[in-house]
Copies of this chain bind each other. A is one copy, B any other.
Amino acid sequence: MYPLELQKLIETFKKLPGVGNKTAERYALLVLDMEPGEVEDFSNALIEAKTKIHGCSICGNYTNHDLCDICEDSSRDASVICVVSSPRDILSIEKINQFNGRYHVLGGLISTVNNVMPDDLEVDGLLRRIDSQVKEIILAFSPTMEGETTALYLSKKLDPNIVVSGLAQGLPMGGQLEYADEMTLIRSFENRKKV
């Protein structure tokens, strides 16, 4: 129904996560309403991001240099490494302003369903980074089957002299106890703290 180039643009937008036909249509039609210069900027922004952004050669965080801002920042504590699945987790953690150590991006989590094995992840890179300076490794994974499998695997691989910790599990802030799933409630009992 739509002319070829418009249909193609709609199909392209549908590759974005969570974008169906209707939304892709709205996006494409907005592009047609943009000024030509704006569309050119959009087009260039895609290419620029893809060509200039890559993984930090130490931790795997996104950067346009050799090292990311965090690895270059000498004020960050080198004795704690927070291991995450993807660079976007780094952003979430940086936003809370609670952690001043370094990061390491695994590039995924072990998953038998998606056929992701330890060899597919940046495990060797992590092990190589661990020197006498490192005192603690925080495994900051989502509390899913994949996250727990990966945490278990890494905890066995890591030097037993290093403290290996994981993020606390329990009721989320503002959540209703009656709506918590069983597993969350079980964990919140197991990990109960003295008030």
Contact = CB atoms under 8 A, between A and B. Distances in A.
Interface string A140-181: 000000000000000000000000000000000000000000
A60 to B, nearest CB: 12
A30 B46 CA distance: 11
Copies in the complex: 2
A48 to B, nearest CB: 5
Given A36-B50, A46-B43, A64 B29 contact: no
B91 A49 contact: no
A182 interface: no
A41 B26 CA distance: 19
Interface stretch (A6-14, A73-81, A109-117, A186-194): A6-14
Interface of A: 1-6, 8-9, 12, 15-18, 23, 25-32, 34, 36, 38-53, 62-65, 68-69, 86-88, 91, 94-95
